Amino acid sequence: MNRSRSTEDDAAEVRKLLRQQAAIAEFGSFALRQVDLLTVLGEAARVCADGLSVPFCKVCQYRPSENDLLVVAGQGWKAGVVGHVVSRADESTPQGRAYVTGMPSVCRDLRLDGQFDLPPFYASHGIISTIDVVIRGSDQPYGVLEIDNDRQHDYDQHDINFLTGFANVLAEAVVTSERTKVLHATIDQMKLLVEEKDEILAQKRVMAEELQHRVRNNLQLVYGMLSSQLRETRDIDEQQGIKAIARRVSTLAQVYDHLLGADMARNADFGGYLESLCVSLAEFQGMPDGTVTLSCRSEPVVVDLDVVTALGIVVTELITNSYDHAFPDGRGSIVAWLSRSGESAQVATMVISDNGVGFRVKPDSKRHGLGLVRRLIEQVRGTVSLEATNGTVWTIVFPAPSGAPTPSGA
């Protein structure tokens, strides 16, 4: 009879342990899927109470500033306990003793244990026996997991192990929650920084656009004044000087036009700009049809805007000098072409040629701006060569790293 009862007790104990282990495993899976810590703590209190067949369970969080333990989740308690009731985090309470010592605190009958100064809610709920185990944290213990019973019960080591296992799972959930909070805070901070950056770039963009419009308008105003002065000037040398200045101003104005049309890019397609510049230069010279022709062939070559500006002035100087000095009989052709020097090359080649009388340097030469041409090409780290056997051929090679235009706010 006794042997049969012992066998039944052993079988019941095994079933209890299996049920508890399954509860821990299932809860661990739940905790990994849940991001809200309070939800995890509340479910832990429910499962622990069920696993140990007790009516009450609670999770207490340590508060360093108050040095106490606040009930943050629970099962079976009356209203006003969870989120409100605190216990001292010292050995005067069951929770405090577990927290301070780091060891499980087992009280089989609080009525016979006079060492504790219990909060009033124990008596109002008729609590007689408790088990408290500490919940570890990353730097310091998070708090305490406690089961409470309104009946006297002799808890064994299996019960303590079950509760300790649950507390360990909770500790992982707490650490994960803390890391998630830090991650979310970091992400939120990054979002704020990105928004602040975008706002600053937007303001900068508006200011830059206003400045570009203002500069372009001023250049057009200066160009108009030069044109007016040119009409009123009769001296040939003075006219040539005014024309040279007017050409440079017009070229700069076109650079700003090209910039404003390219969505305020730091880089620009010099090939497209060269084609539009040649059209403008032909119109500026005002040659009658069938006399001096200007043609342009180019492929896309993306370079920094400063390079566009410098080479635009170079093109203006060379083409207008050909117009002015290469064709004594008023007939001929000028060709401008631009291409990359091979698929993998990081340079581009531009050629400005005419079939005129050829370039000659004479003491009384009226060619303007050719010293400026060389200085500008050196400024963009390019090279220039001149061939003047049959007509004039200027060959300019300059760096042109492969890549797409870069927005000004990048």
- pLDDT at residue 266 above 60? yes
Which pLDDT score, from 0 to 100, does residue 295 have? 93
- pLDDT at residue 63 above 60? yes
In whole angstroms, give the CA distance from residue 31 to residue 23: 12
Name the domain boundary from 148, 173, 188.
188
Q: Is 125 part of any domain?
A: yes
Question: Within this chain, do residues 53 and 172 fall inside the same structural domain, yes or no?
Answer: yes
In whole angstroms, give the CA distance from residue 332 to residue 32: 82
Geometric angle at alpha carbon 72, from 66 and 76, rounded to 5°: 135
In whole angstroms, give the CA distance from residue 44 to residue 33: 14
Which pLDDT score, from 0 to 100, does residue 22 have? 77
Which pLDDT score, from 0 to 100, does residue 360 have? 59
Q: Is 220 part of any domain?
A: no
pLDDT grade, residue 264 (50/70/90)? low
- pLDDT at residue 205 above 50? yes
In whole angstroms, give the CA distance from residue 210 to residue 142: 57
Question: Within this chain, do residues 149 and 52 fall inside the same structural domain, yes or no?
Answer: yes
Question: Within this chain, do residues 160 and 19 fall inside the same structural domain, yes or no?
Answer: yes
- pLDDT at residue 406 above 50? no
Mean per-residue pLDDT, 315-336: 88
Question: Within this chain, do residues 36 and 162 fall inside the same structural domain, yes or no?
Answer: yes
Q: Is 200 part of any domain?
A: no
Closest by CA to 153, choosing from 107, 104, 122, 108, is: 108
Mean per-residue pLDDT, 109-124: 84
With tokens 């809860």, the residue in question is 27
Span 96-111, pLDDT tens digits: 999 999 999 998 888 8
What sign for the dihedral angle of Cα 109, 68, 45, 178? negative
CATH of the domain at 139: 3.30.450.40
Q: Is 322 part of any domain?
A: yes
Q: Who has greater pLDDT, 152 or 18?
A: 152
Which pLDDT score, from 0 to 100, does residue 222 have? 66
- Count of structural domains, the chain: 2
Which pLDDT score, from 0 to 100, does residue 407 have? 40
Closest by CA to 338, choosing from 317, 353, 358, is: 353
Mean per-residue pLDDT, 61-79: 93
With tokens 């577990």, the residue in question is 98
Domain range for 163: 2-188
Q: Is 181 part of any domain?
A: yes
Name 93's Cβ contacts closer than 8 Å, sequence gap at least 6.
69, 87, 116, 117, 118, 119
- pLDDT at residue 365 above 60? no
Which H, E and C letters describe 293-346, residue by residue?
EEEEEECCCEEEHHHHHHHHHHHHHHHHHHHHHCCCCCCEEEEEEEEECCCCCC
CATH of the domain at 300: 3.30.565.10
H or E element that contains 174 = helix 157-232
- pLDDT at residue 230 above 90? no
Q: Who has greater pLDDT, 85 or 234?
A: 85
Which pLDDT score, from 0 to 100, does residue 320 have? 84
In whole angstroms, give the CA distance from residue 199 to residue 368: 47
Span 9-46, pLDDT tens digits: 667 666 777 777 777 777 777 777 777 888 888 988 99
- pLDDT at residue 366 above 60? no
Question: Within this chain, do residues 272 and 184 fall inside the same structural domain, yes or no?
Answer: no
Question: Within this chain, do residues 9 and 108 fall inside the same structural domain, yes or no?
Answer: yes
Question: Within this chain, do residues 9 and 149 fall inside the same structural domain, yes or no?
Answer: yes
- pLDDT at residue 212 above 80? no
Q: Is 243 part of any domain?
A: no
Question: Within this chain, do residues 34 and 159 fall inside the same structural domain, yes or no?
Answer: yes
Q: Is 244 part of any domain?
A: no
Question: Within this chain, do residues 172 and 73 fall inside the same structural domain, yes or no?
Answer: yes
In whole angstroms, give the CA distance from residue 277 to residue 284: 10
Q: Give the orientation angle of helix 37-51 with respect to helix 2-33, to 10 degrees.
A: 170
Name the domain boundary from 160, 188, 216.
188
Name 133's Cβ contacts closer than 8 Å, sequence gap at least 6.
98, 104, 105, 144, 145, 146, 160, 163, 164, 167
Q: Give the orientation angle of helix 157-232 with respect to helix 37-51, to 10 degrees.
A: 170
Q: Who has greater pLDDT, 363 or 21?
A: 21
Which pLDDT score, from 0 to 100, does residue 12 have? 67
pTM: 0.47
Which pLDDT score, from 0 to 100, does residue 256 have? 63
Using DSSP bridges, classify how beta strands 143-149 and 56-63 pair: parallel, antiparallel or unpaired: antiparallel
When the pLDDT of each residue in the chain is averaged and rounded to a whole number, the result is: 81
Q: Is 230 part of any domain?
A: no
Name the domain boundary from 157, 188, 219.
188
Q: What percent of the chain has pLDDT over 70?
A: 81
Question: Within this chain, do residues 16 and 129 fall inside the same structural domain, yes or no?
Answer: yes
Mean per-residue pLDDT, 196-223: 71
Question: Within this chain, do residues 13 and 153 fall inside the same structural domain, yes or no?
Answer: yes
Span 153-175, pLDDT tens digits: 778 888 888 888 888 888 888 88
Question: Within this chain, do residues 178 and 272 fall inside the same structural domain, yes or no?
Answer: no
Closest by CA to 398, choosing from 373, 366, 371, is: 373
